[in-house]
Amino acid sequence: MDTRITDILRYSILLIALLVGSLFVHKHYRRYVVKKEIVAELQGATSDSSFYRQFEAEDAEATLLRSIALMYRADQLGLTPTDLFDRVFQYDQMDSFGETRTRDYPVKEKLVRNTLTSAYEAAKRLELLDPVLIVDLEDGRMPITLSGSPIILPLIDPEISPGMEKIIPNLEILPSDRAGTKRQLTAIETAAARSLAKDLESAGLIEGTVADRIIDHYQTPTKEAEKE
């Protein structure tokens, strides 16, 4: 074979290899950049001012929905909720022996992890984690599904403690059939309301007297709730 043809073939193969390699590196670098962007956005969404001290209830609900969209995007890139929150709160994922640490999370961090993980699972059950519907979530809007539009309701009634509708850990995503009626808590939800009040007090987000008022109110499930 002509040496010129051989050289052309060799250089062509080398060029293709370099092109494939550069595309591979670019793809993984882009994934790395997107992951960092997601982490940064979720750090902002879970800051004290965003997660616990929104001025309006609508803003708190929108932040919750946008956080779910961020978790979905992270999941598509291979980051589980645990991995994502470890990055958000800047933990090393492994100790020096290669084993995952058992951590006792601070109360505020535990509230973030539990709240958003529960909301993400609820969104999954309600079929909100669809590539088409994610656009609505990213804009802070509740999508409309074939079974209706799910709703966001506070666990602890704001009538007991005004402002609770602006605290994201107090918000839950529920099926559309829960709309239009005053929420009556089940026994499990009542226990969750008491536990949340204790956590909010421990985190310094509500005063002890407020927590006591909430806990006293939810000591015993109502008869309506017991029937559910």
Contact 112, 51 (CB under 8 A): yes
| Residue for token pair 């006591």 | 212
Which parts of the chain have pLDDT scores under 70? 1-2, 4, 7-11, 17-18, 20-29, 92-103, 179-181, 220-228
Q: Is residue 158 situated within a structural domain?
A: no
Looking at residue 11, its pLDDT comes to: 65
Looking at residue 79, its pLDDT comes to: 93
Looking at residue 225, its pLDDT comes to: 45
Cα(187)–Cα(205) distance, integer angstroms = 25
Contact 172, 65 (CB under 8 A): no
Looking at residue 219, its pLDDT comes to: 85
Q: Is residue 137 situated within a structural domain?
A: yes
Q: Please give the tally of structural domains in the chain.
A: 1
Q: Quote the strand ranges of 116-215, DSSP E.
A: 151-154, 171-174
Q: Is residue 162 situated within a structural domain?
A: no
193 contact partners, CB below 8 Å, separation of at least 6: 155, 156, 185, 214, 218
86 contact partners, CB below 8 Å, separation of at least 6: 93
Q: Is residue 53 situated within a structural domain?
A: yes
Looking at residue 29, its pLDDT comes to: 57
Determine the structural domain holding residue 117 and report its residue range.
3-146
Q: From the CB of residue 203, how many other CB atoms can be counted at a distance below 10 Å?
A: 17
Q: Is residue 67 situated within a structural domain?
A: yes
Buried b (16+ CB within 10 A) or exposed e, 99-136: eeeeeeeeebbbbbbbbbbebbebbeebebbeeebbeb
Q: Is residue 121 situated within a structural domain?
A: yes
Looking at residue 24, its pLDDT comes to: 58
Q: Is residue 82 situated within a structural domain?
A: yes
Q: Is residue 194 situated within a structural domain?
A: no
